[in-house]
Chain A
């Protein structure tokens, strides 16, 4: 598969920031009783798991963007 040299730094940084945001969101849902984006006031572990998955995917995306694939 053809690749090109040089990464897409702005995209990589954006995805890293997004990963950090999702990590904070995950911690928020794991530690706080809330009804933010949820239907009841409780600790929403499923929301936290989704945020963790999205954070990991953003990190992977940042890794790809850093190496910029054609």
Chain B
């Protein structure tokens, strides 16, 4: 892989990982549409993806560093005590509960799902499904807003009628976490399905995004760390890959900052439209 191509894929991955548009779907679809000499099914792709993911996870850890310090300390306290006594401990266990389904399912279905990486048409179809999930979640949210007599265009006031992550119940956290398993399919966005799950559970948009980013960190980090030994295979251009990882991390950090600001009043609709359009283009033009 040339440094330019590595840089392009890093930009693509870093910018799409946290947006609700499926980074994996983009990694499958975009090189095919642009006729680039890059195949996600190649063995060399795995160590590359590992470092890109580590870059993204590091960006999220830096962005939420204070929160993660409290969450980790809260998890240790609650685990030893066997009882939850403060919101940080509760948040820690909500994240654990939300991570388990994807961790286990992803681990055992990793190989069969990888066969889909080479199929851009399948990724295109899943992008359309992703668009439907995002639109469906927003339709349900608008119905809830009407039921709560909230003005749909009232911005921050509209959002104030809904919940924060700290008030999320266990069943909802598990539901949102289970949604992440869908994102193992290229084209289904992990951020998208968790945000959609969060909206259905009654979270504010900004809180859905925050919970999605917090849920993403352990999964992305674990997936990256478990594959680290692959980086030490002979022939891996570690310098190029490390530079790409830093680039992906910087772009992911900027994306996360943008999304947190956007979701204070923004909705998932534009991302749904984008996914639907890209899915249709892929089905029409992919080779």
Contact = CB atoms under 8 A, between A and B. Distances in A.
A binds B: yes
Nearest to B111: A39
A3 B96 contact: no
Given A63-B80, A67-B82, 12 more contacts: A1-B85, A39-B111, A46-B107, A47-B107, A49-B226, A50-B103, A53-B103, A60-B82, A66-B82, A67-B83, A69-B83, A69-B84
13 contacts: A1-B84, A1-B85, A3-B83, A46-B226, A50-B103, A50-B107, A54-B104, A57-B96, A63-B79, A63-B82, A64-B82, A67-B82, A69-B82
B166 to A, nearest CB: 11
Q: Report the contact-size class of chain B (Cβ under 8 Å from the partner).
A: 10 to 19
B82 A50 contact: no
B4 interface: no
A63 B107 CA distance: 26
Given A46-B226, A69-B84, A60 B111 contact: no
Contacts of B161: none
Given A1-B84, A49-B226, A50-B103, A60 B108 contact: no
Interface residues of A, number: 17
A40 B41 CA distance: 18
B43 to A, nearest CB: 14
Contacts of A57: 96, 100
Contacts, number: 31
Nearest to A59: B79
A60 B79 contact: yes
Contacts of A37: 108
Interface string A34-64: 0001010000001101100110010010011
Contacts of A64: 82-83
A54 B82 CA distance: 17
Interface in B92-122: 96, 100, 103-104, 107-108, 111
A1 B108 CA distance: 37
Contacts of A50: 103-104, 107
B171 to A, nearest CB: 15
Nearest to A63: B82
B219 to A, nearest CB: 12
Q: Which of B80, B83, B90, B104 neighbours the largest number of chain A CB atoms within 10 Å of its CB?
A: B83
A69 B108 CA distance: 32
Contacts of A60: 79, 82
